[in-house]
Structure 1
Amino acid sequence: MSIAEDQVPGEQAAPAETQGFVFNHTMLRAKDPAVSLAFYTRVFGMRLLRKLDFPEMQFTLYFLARVDDDSAIPEDDGERTAYTFSQKGVLELTHNWGSEDDPELRYHDGNAEPQGFGHICFAVPDLAAAEQWFDANGVEFKKRSDQGKMKNVIFVKDPDGYWIEVVQPSLSKGLGRA
């Protein structure tokens, strides 16, 4: 079956050589890992899959994901690392040691000039309930579901100011239609 995306200039069929490629993770810098980990685990229900320290370069990587079955996460460090890098939709938080002590440090969110990176996105089963959950947890909103030209889309900010889009798939059917 043909869809409109088949007619978009530049789009090409996936080569056989890319079979098995998996989009694994997106990395965001975290000024204070305790604050960011609390936010993503408490507010979005993510689970820390792996923590990797690199003392010689003075940074730590934290890999988080939504996990349906905690028992599937291996206990062995090496196996757990391999498991982490085989998952889909992982968020990597990179903490450069000492950044939490620098009151002047602010990470660029990608939406201010010059624009670049824009946001990550979570799909939720009930947008209204999610909005209430964010309010109850003191999450900063960039845009509520009833604001702006795009209704039924929320944007919130994480502790470092990165934007997070939140959508309810069943409410997204009309997006992009004239």
Structure 2
Amino acid sequence: MTRIGTWLREGGWPEATTRRMHVDLGYTTALFPRPAGRPDATLAQSLTTLPDGRLRMSTLGRVEGDRWIVLTAGYADDRPGRSGYEFLLRCKQDPAAAFRQLAEEAEPIGDPAAYRHPDNRRRDFHLLDRFPAGLVAAGDSLASCNPIYGQGMSSAAMHAACLAAHLVRASVTDP
């Protein structure tokens, strides 16, 4: 969550309009040890549309320490629960065997962590008639995207690359 709007307002500057797109996403992640005898999977993903039209997502990825990080996600009333029991139950309900087997063979390392992303946001700084010199809005201060797709990281990286290119050009052209 960015504080740039608060800083602008407190400094007497206009605050950018924020456009929101309702998402109501919930996702929970947990770390697991890789069960003995299981292949060293690098990545497994599952995307399921339930009979009532709800969309569920699960991802399993290898991380350091011979562990896997597992994510389960859903929208609105189908968001995954916060407890270890609810997390394992969600994995057991997944149609992809990798998640069911993991939930049956391994225990999470610690408690799962649950997150909620109520809406995507875009702040229209380009529409302001005044803006503090030297302040740059980039990354999540400019746009907050659905974290499931990783667009926020890509967007922030592109913002940083554009800013770096601008600063290089400015240093070459300014005496």
**TM-score normalized by structure 1?**
0.22
Q: Does 1 or 2 have the higher relative contact order (CA < 8 Å, sep 6+)?
A: 2
Bigger proportion of residues as strand = 2
Bigger proportion of residues as helix = 2
Structure with larger Rg: 2
